[in-house]
Amino acid sequence: MFQPNTVYIIGDSKTSLNNPIMQKYNGFFIGLVIDRDTDRIVDAECSATIALTSLFIKSLFVGKSILEVDRMIEEIEHRYFGSSQKALMVAFKNANIKYTQILNK
């Protein structure tokens, strides 16, 4: 399904205790499949309780560069108004850090 030049990264964070995501998963996670040749995100999924949330988040990330953190944070701030907005931003930053570490190996 995924090309050999792709890697899978998980970014994680916490959200408010009363958020259903925290109650179900005890954290917020975003999984990203990244093309190492282009740094583009080819697939994405998150620990959402509503399927539409995961689909919307996927639409935010797929085709974008994992290295364009400021641009992605701005897009999240302007387009995603779910209760886990801040958790999504932190999880993306966490995934970016992990990917950057892989690049530097």
Q: Where are the domains of the chain?
A: 6-103
Model pLDDT for residues 64-97, shown as the tens digit of each residue? 999 999 999 999 999 999 888 998 999 999 999 9
Please answer whether residues 49 and 24 qualify as being in contact, where contact means their C-beta atoms are separated by less than 8 angstroms.
yes
Other beta carbons within 10 angstroms of residue 50's beta carbon come to 11
What is the pLDDT at residue 83? 83
Model pLDDT for residues 40-73, shown as the tens digit of each residue? 999 999 987 788 999 999 999 999 999 999 999 9
Tell whether the model's pLDDT for residue 22 goes beyond 70.
no
Could you tell me the pTM of the whole model? 0.87
Amino acid identity of residue 25, one-letter, is: Y
Fold (topology level) of 6-103: Sufe protein. Chain: A (3.90.1010)
What is the pLDDT at residue 105? 82
Q: Is 47 exposed, middle or buried (0-12, 13-18, 19+ CB in 10 A)?
A: buried
- Nearest 5°: phi and psi at 83? -65, -15
